[in-house]
Amino acid sequence: QAFFCLLLCIPWSSSCPPSCQCTERAGAKAVLCSSRHLEEIPKDIPKDAVFLKLDANSITRIPSNAFRHLSHLEELDLSRNSIEKIDRAAFKGVGAGLRTLDLSSNRIRNVPKEALLALNAKLRLANNPWHCECALQEVLWEARLDPDSVQDITCHTAPREEYVGKPLLQVLDAGVNFCSVRQRTMDVAMFITMFGWFAMVIIYVICYVRHNREDTCRHVDYLQSLPSTQDHAETTSTAL
């Protein structure tokens, strides 16, 4: 009974994922899961973790609420994985105390800006096959990026071939605005949609007028085919 009571009294936060090592650093818990062949983020990370290293694994996706219970987290290292997809709510629940988020050396082409702009952490995004677009531009302008790695955020693909292989910061400094390109595309799409609706209204009005005209002509022809009142009177007097 004493043994089971002891088990119940041990807080869950003191547990450690089987594939990781948990240590104390100046009173702060560090969870070390580097190079453990992980394919997904462990679900039993202690709630009181302050430092979390998941680098050099085979993680391909950061799902929504992956770190929702880690409100004490200050440093998160996800570098050197195979991450391709980051959900919009991937870092939801992470406390405002997060100081560093390392996503460098992955396979990230694009990322929802909502996933990163809500963080106060310093971001490391270098050495990913980025597709240069408006969302990435907004992250670059609005997020806190590690100044030592900004130059390594390179356009792997881009709307124009001349931007490929160049640092995104260099492209933007040259006056390129990916968001204005998207806005023009949206404006054209809106114009085409409005023109389509306008054309449908015009066609409807034409069909409506033509249909009413045909009904009116049929009604007139019908009235003309009826015997007039005068002819009816003459027929009656003759009969008398």
Report the 10 Å Cβ neighbour count for 30.
17
Mean pLDDT of 193-205: 66
Evaluate if residue 229 carries a pLDDT over 90: no
Q: What predicted TM-score, i.e. pTM, was given to this entire model?
A: 0.71
Q: Are the C-beta atoms of residues 104 and 125 closer than 8 Å to each other?
A: yes
Strand partners, 167: 154
**Do 120 and 68 lie in a common domain?**
yes
**Do 199 and 126 lie in a common domain?**
no
Percent of the chain with pLDDT over 90: 65
Evaluate if residue 233 carries a pLDDT over 70: no
**Do 64 and 149 lie in a common domain?**
yes
Distance CA 53, CA 76 (A): 6
Task: Name the band, by pLDDT with cuts 50, 70 and 90, for residue 27.
Answer: confident
Beta-strand pair 21-25/28-32: antiparallel
Q: Are the C-beta atoms of residues 31 and 22 closer than 8 Å to each other?
A: yes
Instruction: Report yes or no on 239 lying in a domain.
Output: no
**Do 143 and 67 lie in a common domain?**
yes
**Do 53 and 103 lie in a common domain?**
yes
Instruction: Report yes or no on 16 lying in a domain.
Output: no
Strand partners, 131: 157
* DSSP-based three-state secondary structure for 39: coil
Least-confidence region, from 68-77, 120-129, 145-154, 172-181:
172-181
Percent of the chain with pLDDT over 70: 75
CATH number at residue 112: 3.80.10.10
Q: Are the C-beta atoms of residues 154 and 129 closer than 8 Å to each other?
A: no
**Do 156 and 184 lie in a common domain?**
no
Mean pLDDT of 55-82: 97
Domain count, the chain: 2
User: What does the DSSP 8-state code read for residue 167?
Assistant: B
Q: What pLDDT, on a 0 to 100 scale, did the predictor assign at position 181?
A: 55
Evaluate if residue 186 carries a pLDDT over 60: no
Give the amino acid at 155: C
**Do 109 and 198 lie in a common domain?**
no
pLDDT in tens, 113-151: 999 998 999 999 999 999 999 999 999 999 999 999 999
**Do 45 and 156 lie in a common domain?**
yes
Q: What residues make up the domain containing 28?
A: 21-176
Evaluate if residue 6 carries a pLDDT over 80: no
